[in-house]
Amino acid sequence: MNFMYKIIFTLSFCLTLTLASAQKGILKGNISDSRNGEFLTGANVLIQGSTQGASSDFDGNFIIRDVAPGNYNLVVSFISYKQKIITGVKVNSGETVTVNIKLEEAVTELGGVTVAAQRRTDTEISMISSLKASSLTVNGISAQQITKSQDKDASEVMKRVPGITINDGRFVIVRGLSERYNTVWLNGASTPSFEADKRAFSFDVIPSGMINNILIYKTPAPELPGDFAGASVNIFTKNIPDEKNVFLSYGLGYRQYATFSERDAYQGSSLDWLGFDKGKRILPASFPSTKEFQNLLASTNPADRQQALEYSKMLNSDWTATPRRVLPDQSFSLGTGRRFTVGKFSVGNITSVNYGYSSEFREAFRANYQTYDEIKDEPVYFFYNNDKQYSEKVKLGLLHNWSLVYGNNQKLEFRNILNRNAVSRTTVRDGYENYGGNTIRSYEYYYLNRTTYSGQLGGENTFRNELSKINYTAGYSFANRNEPDTRRISTKLADEDPENPNYGKYYTTFGFAANPGLSGRTFIHLNENIFIAGANYEHQLKQDLKSPTLKAGFFSEYKNRDFSARKLGYVINPFMYNDSLSYLPFDQIFTDENINYTTGIRLDETTNKSDQYQSANMLNAAYIAVKYPLSAVLYIYTGIRAEYNSMTLDGYDSKNAKRKVTIDNTELKIFPSLNVTWNISEKNLFRLAYGNTINRPEFREIAPFSYYDFEMKAVITGNPTLENATIQNIDLRYEMYPTDGENITVAAFYKNFKNPIESVLIPTGSGLEYSFSNAPSAYSSGIELDIRKRLFSVSGGASAFTGAGDVSLILNAAVIKSEVDLGENAYVYNEKRPMQGQSPYIFNTGLYYQNDSARFGFSILYNIIGKRIVFVGDPENPDVYEMPRGQLDLTINKTLGKNWTVKAGLKDILNQNVVYRQTFNAFIDSNNDGIQDQHVTREQVTYRYKPGINFGITVTCKF
């Protein structure tokens, strides 16, 4: 469908529904004593399960405005009176409903009754109030702040938090520590890893519109998991709505270098636009298993060998990339919020469907170097490549949450989030390989889909006049990652013999054994399941600020992973192969008639036992803690957490496929922690925190599996001998809250690591290979600044934007220093260096303007990080750093009428290069006299590309 038709259809649909939308009503009434009729002043009236409510005035009257049409229960309470629930109050469109209430005196009760309102957690003011009241060191971001940016998913949202940076567009790095040092929870349940090669939750799978708030805990506490050093991140999705509503949004985006251009892409399936392969890339159901296929290949029986050829012909033979006109980015969301009453129960539901399509084109330079030539004062390449990479990404998400509220806002919740993400990528690589002296052109046709589900059933109850609270959760999470039929094909330029009739042409290269990195295909599959259960109990001894509060809880998690890979490749008979076949176009080489044992090609398989592993982890944890007031302004929160963890893995050694590797690591660890809070005044407080944590190896890091990464042009191998890393954490923090919705925070932190886990370069004869290793020790320390401040008001004049608008600043900055102790015999280029992934500084700032009268706002956001190590080197290869780049974003939003919102913005306006670079210390001949007499530093770029500027516009109607 034409894009203009889509826009017209969407806007017309919204307009029709807007005209039919209902006006809100009013609830009012009077509250009095049932015995003597006296008016009750200060009684609370709350719409059950919502944030809407009111208190009665001196005459006992109350009024609740802007109540959406529907049926409600009212919870009414007053000190020394019995709580009363008024059921089935119906509010019609545009009407005022009067409810007069009489309360009975609670003569037999000793304490007062308090109505616990449904606390809002999606606004900036409510977020800051929660941070101030917390016993822990925590940062957060609310749904209200998210709407003021062009952020489309959780990874982009997280960039706005102090000390946070984003790696690879989707992995969160906290205080400069790599993603492996973070734990991520979704609605109180742990999340699966989205990567086969590392511990990492991919934040880009959660659309920003599904987020209610995000809390980032940076210091240990008894109720937090012990396995983190950067942060424990908890994402909460939206739940019960304040009113019945439906929203619909549609967005278009223009991406520099991609949109409307022609880019080479391979042919996928007809459902790629939905994130489904439709079976085109998977192995046919009748294709034999690895063992069966290898037996056929090894057989001397002609019938078996012929059968192997027939199976070879079953695979997709389309190896051609053709130009494709790139469509604009698109996004679509449809959601509904409903609430209704059933007797004394209030029921709420939020359901939303999200779809996103985006494209990207990168023209990237990649290189790897030998030892610098100090005589000629010039770099020596192992290889250099120029990649033209076109990607299409699809995101499909479903959020379906239910909430049941009863009595004094006792809650039971059922939360579900399901996501399907897919990437289709075509890479054409031109370059030169020095070790072979070849000009090459390679192709990769890559497809990845990820399906994730996370569901939780939980509740929250208060009793004993709010002195006791309990919350509980049981959940299940699932992650499926498929990389079906990753096809790679390599060609070389015939440039040695000018007399050769094929001189100047590229020819396809084949080996004598299957090599998926040469001309072959791989199939990778990963399943991960997580089952969790937990509960937390809290009890305050008395209704007195000076009374201690006791807390206790438990958490159990069982996680298992099943990983498998198949490696197939095309091979030739070196004595009979028809060389002219290699010069044909791909669509002619891989035809059925060319699949044979003599002059053509055939399919081979080199999959071995090390290409699969099964692993499991069982964690049982319990904690006990106390919050103890030492005075009216000083209290401590301390406790211990015990974790019994058992990790098992079964696999085979990648260097010796016959050697079985079995890992069984079981241990009991105790994690003490202390948090001290000093309320200097109502608007100022000081915090001190200390605690021990751990960082356990992830499944993939200890699995003895080797995998070739085409983008990195390197092999990645696990290390079964990895040990746990342990961390001591200290935080000092000063917080100031000038007014509601404002805060200024200054924090200092120090972390000491024993056995930190890093990705390191492994010495090999040729090519690159990375693995994982423990460094002896390291430390990381820094200072953070967080400012959320209203600066001034701007008065409107005769412009279209009348009234006063507020200008506010959000600024997050951190300065960090870290150093790794590599020991005396370290096999490295730099003996002293920062920790891998550590940036020396982080700076995020946003200037926001909001005019509520004109219903107009805009924001200008800027982000930059200092250089950080992405690859640790060896004596011949310096460490590779990702260099700083500033990112500037602009967003404008305008509300039209009662139901329309238009948001437009530019992302990455500066469009600075993404650069990976290494620095070589050389000793050169400065005056060409044959004597090396000058020490210099030379920079070598290993990776460089421009991401491009993005423009987007989204229209939303809510009714």
Note whether 867 and 883 are within 8 A (CB). yes
Q: Residue 699 is inside which H or E element, if any?
A: helix 699-702
Note whether 574 and 292 are within 8 A (CB). no
In 822-913, at which residue ranges do the beta strands (DSSP E only) sit? 841-851, 856-865, 868-871, 880-882, 887-896, 900-907
Q: Which residues contact 367 (CB under 8 A, 6 or more apart)?
A: 381, 382, 383, 384, 385, 940, 941, 942, 943
pLDDT at 466: 74
- In this prediction, residues 19-33 reach a mean pLDDT of 76
pLDDT at 252: 96
pLDDT of 581 above 50: yes
pLDDT at 594: 94
CA distance 392 to 414: 33
Characterize the bridge pairing of strands 757-761 and 768-774. antiparallel
Secondary structure (3-state) at 152: coil
Most confident of the ranges 210-214, 570-574, 930-934: 570-574
Q: Residue 5 is inside which H or E element, if any?
A: helix 3-19
pLDDT at 342: 84
Find tokens 């699932």 and name the residue. Answer: 478
Q: Which residues contact 496 (CB under 8 A, 6 or more apart)?
A: none
pLDDT of 333 above 70: yes
Q: Residue 604 is inside which H or E element, if any?
A: strand 601-605
User: Greater confidence, 508 or 41?
Assistant: 508
Burial 219-238 (b: 16+ CB within 10 A, else e): bbbbbbbbbbbbbbbbbbbb
pLDDT at 512: 87
pLDDT at 483: 93
CA distance 812 to 469: 34
- In this prediction, residues 368-382 reach a mean pLDDT of 86
pLDDT at 816: 93
Secondary structure (3-state) at 159: coil
Q: pLDDT for 400-432, tens place per residue?
A: 999 898 876 688 999 898 989 999 999 999 999
CA distance 468 to 775: 46
- In this prediction, residues 49-78 reach a mean pLDDT of 84
- In this prediction, residues 73-99 reach a mean pLDDT of 86
Secondary structure (3-state) at 348: strand
Q: pLDDT for 712-758, tens place per residue?
A: 777 888 888 899 999 999 999 999 988 877 889 999 999 999 999 88
pLDDT of 309 above 50: yes
DSSP per residue, 775-819: -SEEEEEEEEEEEEEEEEEEE--SSSS-SEEEEEEEEEEEEEEEE
Paired strand residues for 405: 346, 411
pLDDT of 557 above 90: yes
φ/ψ of residue 631, rounded to 5 = -160, -170
Range of weakest confidence among 6-10, 393-397, 593-597? 6-10
CA distance 359 to 256: 10
DSSP per residue, 56-72: --TTSEEEEEEEPSEEE
Q: Which residues contact 400 (CB under 8 A, 6 or more apart)?
A: 349, 350, 351, 416, 417, 418
Instruction: Please name the amino acid found at residue 497.
Output: D
Q: How far apart are the first and last CA of the chain?
A: 26
Q: Which residues contact 329 (CB under 8 A, 6 or more apart)?
A: 251, 252, 253, 254, 255, 259, 356, 357, 358, 359, 950, 952
pLDDT band for position 15 (50/70/90)?
Answer: very low
pLDDT at 111: 38
pLDDT band for position 18 (50/70/90)?
Answer: very low
pLDDT of 122 above 60: no
CA distance 441 to 458: 55
Both tokens of 413, joined, read: 């919740």
User: Greater confidence, 4 or 849?
Assistant: 849
Find tokens 């919870």 and name the residue. Answer: 75
pLDDT at 19: 40
Most confident of the ranges 109-113, 417-421, 600-604: 600-604
pLDDT band for position 8 (50/70/90)?
Answer: very low
- In this prediction, residues 363-379 reach a mean pLDDT of 88
- In this prediction, residues 347-357 reach a mean pLDDT of 90
CA distance 445 to 318: 10
pLDDT band for position 151 (50/70/90)?
Answer: low
Q: Do domains 3-103 and 120-237+608-781 have the same CATH topology?
A: no
CATH (residue range 120-237+608-781): 2.170.130.10
CA distance 344 to 20: 31
pLDDT of 9 above 70: no
**β-sheet with 231-237: strand ranges across:** 138-142, 211-217, 231-237, 182-186, 189-190
pLDDT at 12: 45
Find tokens 């696990």 and name the residue. Answer: 718
User: Greater confidence, 506 or 169?
Assistant: 506
pLDDT at 731: 94
Note whether 621 and 644 are within 8 A (CB). yes
Per the prediction, the chain carries an average pLDDT of: 85
Number of H helices and E strands in the chain, helices first, is 9, 49
CA distance 387 to 391: 12
pLDDT of 5 above 60: no
Both tokens of 539, joined, read: 């009890």
pLDDT band for position 34 (50/70/90)?
Answer: confident
Alpha-carbon dihedral sign for residues 579, 581, 586, 589: negative
User: Greater confidence, 244 or 108?
Assistant: 244
pLDDT at 803: 59
Q: What is the dihedral of CA 656, 657, 660, 663, to 10 degrees?
A: 80
Residue 935, classified by CB atoms within 10 Å of its CB into exposed (0-12), middle (13-18) or buried (19+), is: exposed
Both tokens of 686, joined, read: 């000081």
Note whether 253 and 174 are within 8 A (CB). no
pLDDT band for position 150 (50/70/90)?
Answer: low
pLDDT at 166: 65
DSSP per residue, 488-511: EEEEEE--S-TTSTTTT-EEE--B
Secondary structure of 297-319 in HEC code, one letter for each residue: HHCCCHHHHHHHHHHHCCCCCCC
pLDDT > 70: percent of the chain: 87
Nearest to 353 by CA among 250, 234, 457, 478: 250
Q: How far is CA 939 from CA 174, 432, 564, 570, 837, in A?
A: 28, 20, 40, 39, 19
Both tokens of 547, joined, read: 């009374």
Both tokens of 102, joined, read: 């009489």
- In this prediction, residues 28-46 reach a mean pLDDT of 87
Find tokens 């993939």 and name the residue. Answer: 700
Residue 284, classified by CB atoms within 10 Å of its CB into exposed (0-12), middle (13-18) or buried (19+), is: exposed
pLDDT at 485: 93
pLDDT band for position 112 (50/70/90)?
Answer: very low
pLDDT > 90: percent of the chain: 44
pLDDT at 1: 43
Domain positions in the chain are: 3-103, 120-237+608-781, 242-281+319-436+883-959
Nearest to 224 by CA among 187, 186, 185, 191: 185
pLDDT of 433 above 70: yes
DSSP per residue, 545-597: TTS-EEEEEEEEEEEEEEEEEEEEEEEE-TTT--GGGGGS-HHHHTSGGGBSS
pLDDT at 170: 64
**Cβ count within 10 A of residue 861:** 23
Q: pLDDT for 776-827, tens place per residue?
A: 899 999 999 989 888 887 765 544 445 567 898 988 888 999 999 877 666 6
pLDDT at 758: 84
Angle at 492 between CA 488 and CA 496, to 5 degrees: 170
CA distance 196 to 707: 10
Fold classification of 3-103 is Immunoglobulin-like (2.60.40)
